Amino acid sequence: MSHELTFQEEEYSRQLDFALWRRILRHAGRYWKQLLALSGAGLTVATVDVMLPLVTAWIIDEAMASGVTPRLWTYVVLYFGLCALLCSCIWLFIELAGQTSTGIAYDLRRKGFRRLQELSFSYFDVRPVGWLVTRLTSDVTKLSSLMPWFTLDLVWGSFLVLGITGAMFWLNWQLALAVLVIVPPLSIASVYFQKRLLASSRNMRRTNSMITASFSESISGVRTTKALVREEENLNEFRSLSTAMHQHCLRNALQSAVYLPIVVTLGSLGVGLALWRGGVDVLGPDSTLTLGVLIAFMQYAALFHMPIEELARRFTDLQAAQAAAERIQTLLDTEPEIQDSAEVRSRMAATAPHQAAGASNLAEDGCADTVRRIEFRNVSFWYKPDEPVLRSFNLTVEPGETIALVGATGGGKSTIVSLLARFYEPQEGEILIDDTDYRERSLHWWQSNLGIVLQSPVLFTGTIRENIRYGRLDASDAEIEAAARLVNAETFIRELDGGYEFDVGEMGSRLSTGQRQLMSLARAVLADPRVFILDEATSSVDTETEQLIQDGINKVLSGRISFVIAHRLSTIRAASRILVIDGGEVVEQGSHDELIRERGRYHDLYVGQFARQREAERLSGGEETGMAGA
């Protein structure tokens, strides 16, 4: 299924999208208790933050006015008590944020993973695996950690701003007005710089990923680079990237280097104003302002930038996470193109109780649990309407038949088996199983009846045994070993360190291609499917393994309905029917002998393949194929 497709990552959106965030917030619904408690903690912390300068003022005024009194010690103890309360709130909100963020992350990953298991292949065709992985890893992390901290800082920040303002007005409204002068410039500076910082850190990230790509290219293309003597030019191109990176990093650093002094200077202006206006008041004839209160004002002025800065930062975080939120929400919202129809689902619901009781020998969708005939009726398929991949394809197959599909790459062979497996559905025509359109059957039932061996065999991390068991999860060890024996895989398995318990590595990387092919055959055999689909590998393996694989295939195919995209002569010859596919159409059809006699496309294809194969065998000194070997 090769077709020209490119995938572009979408750009970040600029405006806050409230509708989106409301939907995202729903994922946090289960944690409303934690979020509520988090808000409580934020409120308490803000209150304590407002109280501490106040208590300091009481301490100073008491100490200056009355000396060492029990009341002074009460205030000191109160101060320490507030500190302790603050610290327990800190403990509490980190704990709560932990529960919320890990919980939301877990839920989002579970939902996202499930959705990925349901989506159609057309979804995966255009999206690189790495891109999808990032959705469930860093995007989810970004979003899930944002939610509790945003909640906390929103509550803490706004209450602290309100609290400080309120306390100042309560203490002395004229002085409060003087100090509040700094708030507008503080807010403007914070919002402005946080936005700039966000932009420059995005540039940093983007350039960084380009640098990674560049390293990756320089390593995988090192031989070509050497052969073309491109070292200097490559380095120059890399230099321009690393210079860009340098500039973005420096810009980012300079932005915060400017921002922090501005905020601190504004804070000092507040302190200075408090000292000036307060000092005048203290020295005034009917002074009501104590030195303690003056000091409290100076502390408030110095404190003010913290909540404002934090609020500005959290809102930019929100903006930064919006792209991640969008991508996750879109993933969760994407409906699989191929899924059971409502009618099938209701039938399945009706059948389930009977099945559970064991009182039914019907399939899970309430139809007969048999596959007696498969029919393609006028099936057409395309990715783009003006470029049909398959045109009015007709075929009827019955048990015991092996259909070999041969022809050039891109002719439509893979499309036929993908349609059969319902990885895609035909745009026109229908595929019938025992005279019922397969869209009226359960997807799960149909795919459980298939055994598919792909051209490039994929194994999963785990042991040999686990990988074979993937074909049928409740298979016993003896059955697994029997399947391995049947496809001639046991010989190599026995030689592995640990035999069936050998760890095959990531994607089976510790096995050779031939061994992986045998493994995927064994896996399919264990499933004991009614319909067998085999996409033969074209990659060459050594003659001995080739023979083993061939024997294995022959044993597997007998007695089932099978479809083979065939490259090996013996598989082709053994097929009950051979379909030569080209340009999305069947150009020749018949048994091997019939088609050879016709001396058409198949004849040429076969003779060419035969010569190629024999030449390869002679070159590598292996046993030769002959007509008698059919």
Q: Which of residues 180-239 bind another protein (CB under 8 A)?
A: 208, 211-231, 233-235, 238-239
Q: Angle CA(576)–CA(582)–CA(586) in degrees, nearest 5? A: 45
Q: Tell me which residue of 371, 515, 520 sits closest to 435, measured CA to CA.
A: 371
If one asks whether residue 603 binds another protein (CB under 8 A), the answer comes out as: yes
Only one of the segments 296-304, 346-354, 364-372, 375-383 lies at the binding site for another protein (rule: CB under 8 A); that segment is 296-304
Looking at residues 54 to 73 of the shown chain, list those that interact with another protein (rule: CB under 8 A).
Answer: 56, 59-60, 62-64, 66-69, 72
Of 13 and 243, CB closest to another protein: 243
- The residue (of 106 and 173) whose beta carbon lies closer to another protein is 106
Would you give the DSSP letter of residue 623? P
Figure out which of the listed residues 16, 177, 264, 350 binds another protein, where binding follows CB under 8 A: 264
Query: 296 or 315, CB closer to another protein?
Result: 296
DSSP 529: -
Tell me which of 243, 330, 378, 476 binds another protein, using CB under 8 A.
Answer: 243
Q: How far is the CB of 373 from another protein (least distance, A)?
A: 19
Minimum distance, C-beta of residue 622 to another protein, in the bound complex (Å): 9
| Residue 594 tokens, joined | 């019939």
| Least distance to another protein, CB of residue 137, Å | 5
Question: To the nearest whole angstrom, how small is the minimum distance from the Cβ of residue 477 to another protein?
Answer: 18
How far is Cα 596 from Cα 598, in angstroms, rounded to an integer? Answer: 5
Should residue 242 be labelled a site residue for another protein when binding is judged by CB under 8 A? yes
Q: Which stretch binds another protein (CB under 8 A): 188-196, 322-330, 360-368, 603-611?
A: 603-611
Please tell me whether residue 615 binds another protein under the rule CB under 8 A.
yes
Going by their DSSP bridges, the two strands 402-406 and 428-433 should be labelled as: unpaired
Give yes or no for residue 393 binding another protein (CB under 8 A).
Answer: no
Decide: is 330 part of the binding site for another protein (CB under 8 A): no
Could you give the CA distance from residue 299 to residue 281 in angstroms, rounded to a whole number? 18
Tell me which stretch binds another protein (CB under 8 A): 315-323, 348-356, 510-518, 581-589.
581-589
Could you say whether residue 534 binds another protein (CB under 8 A)?
Answer: no
Query: Distance between CA 231 and CA 219 in Å, rounded?
Result: 12
Q: Residue 564 phi/psi, 5° resolution?
A: -125, 125
Beta carbons of 520 and 439 less than 8 angstroms apart: no
> Per-residue x/- mask for another protein, residues 514 to 533, rule CB under 8 A?
------x--x---x-----x
User: Are the C-beta atoms of residues 241 and 210 closer than 8 Å to each other?
Assistant: yes
Choose, by CB under 8 A, the member of 6, 11, 286, 435 that binds another protein.
Answer: 6
The residue to which tokens 């559970």 are assigned: 356
Shortest Å, Cβ 302 to another protein = 8
Residue 201 burial (10 A CB sphere; 0-12, 13-18, 19+): middle
Full strand arrangement of the beta sheet holding 585-590: 450-453, 531-535, 561-565, 402-406, 577-582, 585-590
One-letter identity of residue 410: G
Among 283, 342, 356, 357, binds another protein (CB under 8 A): 283
Regarding 284 and contact with another protein (CB under 8 A), the answer is: no
**Shortest approach of another protein to residue 19 CB, angstroms?**
28
List 165, 187, 203, 256, residue binding another protein (CB under 8 A)? 256
Q: Does 19 bind another protein (CB under 8 A)?
A: no
Instruction: Please report, as residue ranges, which positions from 438 to 477 form the binding site for another protein (by CB under 8 A).
Output: 444, 447-448, 450-452, 454, 458-461, 470-471, 473
Separation of alpha carbons 93 and 143, rounded Å: 18
Closer residue to another protein in complex, CB, 230/377: 230
Give yes or no for a contact between 5 and 117, defined as CB atoms under 8 angstroms apart.
no
Distances (CA, A) of 567 to 223, 300, 514, 520, 606: 32, 81, 15, 17, 10
Please tell me whether residue 533 adopts helix, strand or coil conformation: strand
Q: Which is nearer to another protein, 20 or 63 (CB)?
A: 63
Q: How far is CA 157 from CA 94, 160, 177, 310, in A?
A: 16, 5, 20, 7
Q: How far does CA 516 lie from the centroid of its chain? A: 26
CB of 20 to another protein, least distance (A): 24
Instruction: Annotate 82-116 with b (16+ C-beta within 10 A) or e (fewer).
Output: beeebeebeebbeebbebbbebbbebbbebbeebb
Q: Choose between 17 and 582: whose C-beta lies nearer to another protein.
A: 582
133-172: which residues touch another protein (CB under 8 A)?
Answer: 133, 136-137
Q: Can residue 507 be called a binding residue for another protein (CB under 8 A)? A: yes
Among 246, 345, 354, 494, binds another protein (CB under 8 A): 246
Query: Judged by CB under 8 A, does residue 590 bind another protein?
Result: yes
Span near another protein by CB under 8 A; candidates 10-18, 160-168, 291-299, 394-402:
291-299
Question: What's the rounded Cα separation, in Å, for the pair 369 and 350?
Answer: 16
Give Cα separations from 362 to 301, 354, 365, 586, 626 (angstroms). Answer: 78, 9, 8, 35, 47
Cα separation, 488 vs 490, in Å, equals 6
Touching another protein, residues 75-134 (CB under 8 A): 75-76, 79-80, 83-84, 86-88, 90-92, 94-95, 97-99, 101-103, 105-106, 109-110, 113-114, 116-118, 121, 124, 129-130, 132-133
- Using the rule CB under 8 A, which residue among 29, 276, 352, 398 binds another protein? 276
Q: Which of 36, 126, 188, 253 binds another protein (CB under 8 A)?
A: 253
Q: Does 346 bind another protein (CB under 8 A)?
A: no
DSSP code for 600: S
By CB under 8 A, name the one of 250, 349, 352, 368 that touches another protein: 250
Q: Which residues of 238-261 are buried (b: 16+ CB within 10 A; e: fewer)?
A: beeeeebbeebbebbeebeeebee
Q: Which residue lies nearer to another protein by CB, 20 or 275?
A: 275
65 vs 368, beta carbon nearer another protein? 65
Give the residue, chosen from 187, 268, 355, 513, that forms a contact with another protein under the rule CB under 8 A.
268
Please work out the total of residues on this chain that contact another protein, with binding judged by CB under 8 A.
165
**Which of 20, 183, 245, 432 touches another protein (CB under 8 A)?**
245
Angle, to 10 degrees, between the axis of helix 32-66 and the axis of helix 70-118? 160
1 touching another protein, by CB under 8 A: no
Q: What is the DSSP letter of 31?
A: G
Q: CB–CB of 38/154 below 8 Å?
A: no
285's tokens: 């004839």
Q: Does 298 bind another protein (CB under 8 A)?
A: yes
Nearest to 438 by CA among 383, 479, 485, 379: 379
CB of 279 to another protein, least distance (A): 4
